[in-house]
Amino acid sequence: MKTILIDDEPLAIGRLKRLLGKFEDFEIIAEAKNGHEGLEKITQHKPDVIFLDIEMPEMTGFEMLAQLDFMPLVVFATAYDQYAIRAFEENSIDYLLKPIETERLEKTVEKLRKLKSNTGESSMNNSLLQLIEQFKPKKDIHSISVKSGEKILFIPLTEISFFEAEDKYVFLNTTDGKQYLTNYTIASLEEKLPENFIRVSRSSIINSLLIKELQKYFSGKYLVIMRDTKASKIETGSAYGENLKKLMEI
């Protein structure tokens, strides 16, 4: 299987190369030290599988995946366990925690071998292109997973009023006034969510089905009043006002 390794840590790539070197099924055709390089290498080589880090400078692994036109099979390799649910939602083949152990990697290899076996040697690439459609971000989701203490909660989209970014964090706000920290970026949510969720500014995405009022604001902006218990007020960005007006048939 043609393989690309994407990680900003040279030691991590070196270790993974040594571990994968024990398996004759894999041909490492390229390496990338960040998401931008990863996009270039994937577009150029069209690999069967990538081993992808999540926390990287400038662009996370999730953000890189959202920009791909060609989607290979994805195995996440990261030092952070909090992204496991998100990785599951992105339909990755596996989620490896660093430092990766040989025994754990063997299980991943077995999964990939079974997938390859099911597609057949002679039609490996064509079959993967068909299978890979299920690995692209879907917009027919029904809930968003968040971590609350030791629990993983699944918040139905119908109960989500809006998402809002603060610094490096994105919070989910529900109709009953609760707020949860997510593992998503605003950009990845915009790609993932169905069409009734509209990005109205650089930092906000709202559930258009829960808009109560739309008030004119300064400099061509609008103030959106949400139909939640807090009657939340969200200011639109000037670059997003036109889309909002068209949606509401103003």
The per-residue pLDDT for range 177-201, each reduced to its tens digit, is 999 998 888 888 988 899 899 999 9
Query: Contact 200/224 with Cβ under 8 angstroms?
Result: yes
pLDDT the model gives residue 146: 86
3-state secondary structure of 75: strand
The per-residue pLDDT for range 125-171, each reduced to its tens digit, is 444 444 444 444 444 678 888 888 777 888 999 999 999 998 778 99
Cα(51)–Cα(244) distance, integer angstroms: 39
The per-residue pLDDT for range 37-93, each reduced to its tens digit, is 999 999 999 999 999 999 998 889 988 998 888 888 999 999 887 777 677 667 688
Bridge-based pairing of strands 222-226 and 179-182 is unpaired
Q: Is 202 buried (19+), middle (13-18) or exposed (0-12) by CB count in 10 A?
A: exposed
155 or 249: whose pLDDT is higher?
155
Cα(225)–Cα(119) distance, integer angstroms: 51
Task: Find the angle CA(224)-CA(226)-CA(230) to the nearest 5 degrees.
Answer: 120
Instruction: Indicate whether this model's pTM tops 0.85.
Output: no
